[in-house]
Structure 1
Amino acid sequence: MKVLGIWFGGAEACNKNWRERTAKVKQKLGLWGGRSLSITGKNLVIRCEVLSGLLYLAQVWPVPRSYSSEITRAVFRFVWGSKMKRVRRTAMHKSLDNGGKNVPNVALTLMASFVCGCIKLCVDPRYVGTKYYYVPRFYLSPWLRRMGLAPLPRNTPVSWSLPPYLSFVEKFFKTNAFDHRAIRQWSARNVLQALQEKDVMDTVGWFPEQTVQFIWQNASSPDLTNRHKDLAWLAARGALPVRSLLYARNGSSTPRCPREDCNGVESGAHLFAHCGFAKKVWKRMEGTVLRCMPSSCAMSPA
């Protein structure tokens, strides 16, 4: 039976719902993939076109791991435009200040939405005495007591084992350790914010922490266009599609620079500074670059 766009009834109802939604996600991402978008633009597509349709279903049915993995693969294939991932996914999910690109963690967001919905029905005073209150409370009361979220009721029956449908709640807390007692209003946004506060800033080579922080701030400066932000971030990450990187991942037949008068390995530093052609470009652009720089950063002719 389909109610408000969601299938109910039978053991396969959960899989049927997520199978249909996963197919729609792939279709939408395939249509948007034909456009030349920056990573920031693709993040907006993921939040508006992907998450908006999945969060509604995640309020009712927990997303199985097979479908969450399939959606995650489709999202990152859309972000990179191919199957080759140049930066690890955990780094992509981080905030801009910590060296990430704020790519939504779709699987974590969907699970947080389902878990928060279950807990809210049990601990929010607005739901006490309603028809939505008793079933989740019957199953989750012993677990809520162990977690310190709610007392165990004395005058109503409870279940001492969680059904598969609600075992996702316990798995979520075991997988993601965070200070759940500090959360007053159980919403996916608050839970995700608590998890993001645990993120640490990624390093850049041997640079000290203060310099690395300055690098990430510059890479996401509002003075840059989205394209320039992507370029600066990929350069800091060492993830530019240069030949050395493509060769290491079987995407190029040689790691050498394509310039005829240059036989060096084409890395990011070689591309922008060490290549003979790059030196010629910098020499010709020296006057323009110096005029655009603040007087406090003026460079000597040497």
Structure 2
Amino acid sequence: MDDFNILCTDLLSVDRVFQLTDWFGKASGSKLNKEKTKAQFYGPWKNSEKRGLQFQVTQEEQKILGVKFDTNCEGKTNWTEITQKVKQRLGFWTMRNLTIEGKILIVKAVILPVFLLISSVFIPPMRVFLELQRDIFYFICDSKWERLKREIMTKPKEKGGKGVPDLYLFLGSFYISTHFKQAMDIFNNPKTNSINRFWFGSYLRKLKLLKSDFKKPVAFNLPPAYAFIQKFLQHFKLEGEEIGILTNHRFIISVVQDREPATPVRGLLRGDATTVWPNVGHPVLTNRLQDLSWMVAHEILPVRAVMHSRGMSATSICPRPGCGAPESVRHLLWECSAARDLWAEAGSLQFPYLPAREVLDLQLVLYGVSHQKMEKKDFAEMWLTLATIKDAIWTSRNLLVSRCRQIPPWL
């Protein structure tokens, strides 16, 4: 017999375990190695009770099913290993030339699963939340320069964000949904349900999710594991939600994100932001074009005016020869001489999916907002063409700045 854990409540149970293992050994021929057997005591045990035992008493942390339990049963040592593993994986994927969309996909598919097992037992300290969230944003931004506030980046795409996972919301919702399932006996485990309702019962009664029953004892003071649940629900104002939502972490995240308002679009003269953001993340666009359209709508494309305002460029003047205007996003894609020449030649003759030249205006080019109604298929083809042209303008500009190669974007 090797590598198994047994939980005992008293010394009588310990003696009973040795008797059962001896009986099992007589039938199977196996034998318990008592020299390698270790015991960890939790709670108010007396020193006299720890003496004269048939095994070694240790204060080292115990690893049970991949989860480390220290002497205080707080699980703090788990997060050191997880933090190192996350940094290692982020460092590996940093060497790949990924788009923002691709990096967010890596975070969701590769990074988040690292937390799920441990966070279902122990919730990370706030220090760990902040450190890991910072590393994730540095990975997505590819530098320490975060172009937008994190609360905007974590919004859904249809509200102006990029859908970057909020670790506090994601892990917290997963943690509390697990405990609510245990309290409501969804797992059909009576023992787990009973102990969960004892520690969690007073708060469940306050939420009116559990009827008051004076025949069953409950703890009036929530232990730290359940105090986090109360703090989480109060922070996101979820105490009034139904039990069907609180037992599903996806529903919890959806409720919180649905309450967030759409991010306004500066410079939008036609329509509203709820029209622009679905265009920015239109499925017809590739990841590269979605990133470009998103940065254009937020006006965070790293043009010289943006870089100069943050002290990262010596000048804000457009790099095109003979153009002395500040290089803003609007100037780059619409007002610059190179952009004007391109849009003057662009039309339904050169690009079959574009509208007539007199219909092509700034709002349509930057945000995909038109005063004319279009069919979904026609709009998708037009928007893909416009995004490709904008990408050609941006690529031509970068070649001029980085390699001093002046190539017209229409070639």
TM-score normalised by L of structure 1: 0.90
Write the letter of the residue equivalent to 2:358. Answer: S
Cα deviation for residue 287 of structure 1 reads 6.7
| Candidates 341, 345, 357, aligned match of 1:299 | 357
Match of 1:269 in 2: 330
The answer to whether residue 248 in structure 2 is matched with residue 177 in structure 1 is no
| Candidates 165, 175, 182, aligned match of 2:225 | 165
Q: How does 1:244-259 map to 2 (within 5 A)?
A: 244-259=305-320
Cα deviation for residue 70 of structure 1 reads 0.7
2 CA distance for matches of 1:249 and 1:184?
47
**Cα 1:188–1:301, aligned 2, differ >3 Å: closer, same or farther?**
closer
User: 1:2 aligns to what SS in structure 2?
Assistant: strand
Write the letter of the residue equivalent to 1:87. Answer: L
The answer to whether residue 130 in structure 2 is matched with residue 72 in structure 1 is no
User: 1:7 aligns to what SS in structure 2?
Assistant: strand
2 CA distance for matches of 1:146 and 1:153?
13
Cα contact 1:63–1:111 (8 A) shared by 2: no
Write the letter of the residue equivalent to 2:289. Answer: H
User: 1:49 aligns to what SS in structure 2?
Assistant: helix
The answer to whether residue 341 in structure 2 is matched with residue 280 in structure 1 is yes
Q: Which has the higher helix share?
A: 1
| Candidates 207, 213, 233, aligned match of 2:268 | 207
**Cα 1:146–1:237, aligned 2, differ >3 Å: closer, same or farther?**
same
Cα deviation for residue 280 of structure 1 reads 3.2
TM-score normalised by L of structure 2: 0.68
Residue-by-residue CA offset, 1:217-273 (whole Å, 9 max, x unaligned): 221112211100110111001110111221222222222222342222111011112
Cα deviation for residue 21 of structure 1 reads 0.6
Cα contact 1:148–1:181 (8 A) shared by 2: no
Match of 2:102 in 1: 41
The answer to whether residue 205 in structure 2 is matched with residue 150 in structure 1 is no
The answer to whether residue 166 in structure 2 is matched with residue 113 in structure 1 is no
| Candidates 124, 133, 136, aligned match of 2:196 | 136
Cα contact 1:244–1:256 (8 A) shared by 2: yes
Residue-by-residue CA offset, 1:155-177 (whole Å, 9 max, x unaligned): 23221111223211111011111
Cα contact 1:139–1:162 (8 A) shared by 2: yes
Cα contact 2:209–2:243 (8 A) shared by 1: no
The answer to whether residue 90 in structure 2 is matched with residue 29 in structure 1 is yes
Question: Which is further off, 160-169 or 234-243?
Answer: 160-169
User: 1:60 aligns to what SS in structure 2?
Assistant: coil
User: 2:195 aligns to what SS in structure 1?
Assistant: helix
**Cα 1:225–1:157, aligned 2, differ >3 Å: closer, same or farther?**
same
Higher relative contact order (CA 8 A, sep 6+): 1
Cα deviation for residue 151 of structure 1 reads 2.0
Residue-by-residue CA offset, 1:175-224 (whole Å, 9 max, x unaligned): 11136433415021111111112122121125378442332122111221
Runs of 4+ in structure 1 deviating by more than 4 angstroms, as ranges, are: 284-290
Cα contact 1:141–1:153 (8 A) shared by 2: no
**Cα 1:193–1:209, aligned 2, differ >3 Å: closer, same or farther?**
farther
User: 1:263 aligns to what SS in structure 2?
Assistant: coil
Cα deviation for residue 54 of structure 1 reads 0.5
Write the letter of the residue equivalent to 2:242. Answer: A
Percent sequence identity over aligned pairs: 31
2 CA distance for matches of 1:74 and 1:34?
15
Cα contact 1:91–1:99 (8 A) shared by 2: yes
Gaps of 5+ in 1: none
Write the letter of the residue equivalent to 2:260. Answer: D
Cα contact 1:141–1:151 (8 A) shared by 2: no
Cα deviation for residue 278 of structure 1 reads 2.6
